[in-house]
Amino acid sequence: MRDSNMLKWLWLSLLTVILDQGSKLAISSSMQLYQSIQIMPYFNLTYVHNTGAAFSFLSEAGGWQRWFFAGLALVISAVIAVWLARLKPRETLLAVALSLILGGAIGNLIDRLAYGYVIDFLDVYYQTWHWPAFNIADSAITLGVILMLVESFGFWKPEDASKKLDPEKHSEE
């Protein structure tokens, strides 16, 4: 049987879903739709509904996109879960990345299935230019993708780190 101990990182997916859904519940229960609260210069909490995908892509498509994106999230989540189960113990950074992406995908999937849209509320801006509003699930997905890129370009090699920590142990290699 394949060593599937990398599934231990699913706690990170669960934490992502809990933080995402808790923050969305707090925003939707305490703010009016389109209400904006300045937190600091260049950052607001702005409550919006996103019926599209990232950056409101296809938000005006007429409703079919809800089920398309929900189905896509289910397929991607299943693929990521299998991928995570097949990782080797030394592939920790990739496990963390996949767990963040999985948690984010599930967090937004819950919104799509429950409401037909995703609750977004993090609003970063400069003067009159606003980045499209996003949420904790989107942030987890983005961080996960960045970590995957770091890992795929070889910027993180745990075996190199262990050699630096104890060069005597690895001198005969």
| Residue of 20, 111, 123, 138 marked catalytic | 138
Instruction: Tell me, yes or no, if 111 is annotated catalytic.
Output: no
Encoded tokens for 83: 């991928």
Point out which residues pair with 118 in neighbouring strands: 50
Instruction: Of 90, 111, 130, 110, give the one whose Cα is nearest residue 6.
Output: 90
| Residue of 20, 120, 123, 160 marked catalytic | 120
Residues whose CB is less than 8 angstroms from the CB of residue 58 and which lie 6 or more positions away in sequence, other chains included: 52, 65
Determine the Cα–Cα distance for residues 71 and 167; give it in Å rounded to an integer: 49
At 2, the amino acid letter reads: R
Q: What is the number of residues in the chain?
A: 173
Determine the Cα–Cα distance for residues 35 and 46; give it in Å rounded to an integer: 6
Determine the Cα–Cα distance for residues 133 and 33; give it in Å rounded to an integer: 13
Instruction: Tell me, yes or no, if 123 is annotated catalytic.
Output: no
Could you give the residue numbers annotated as active site?
Answer: 120, 138
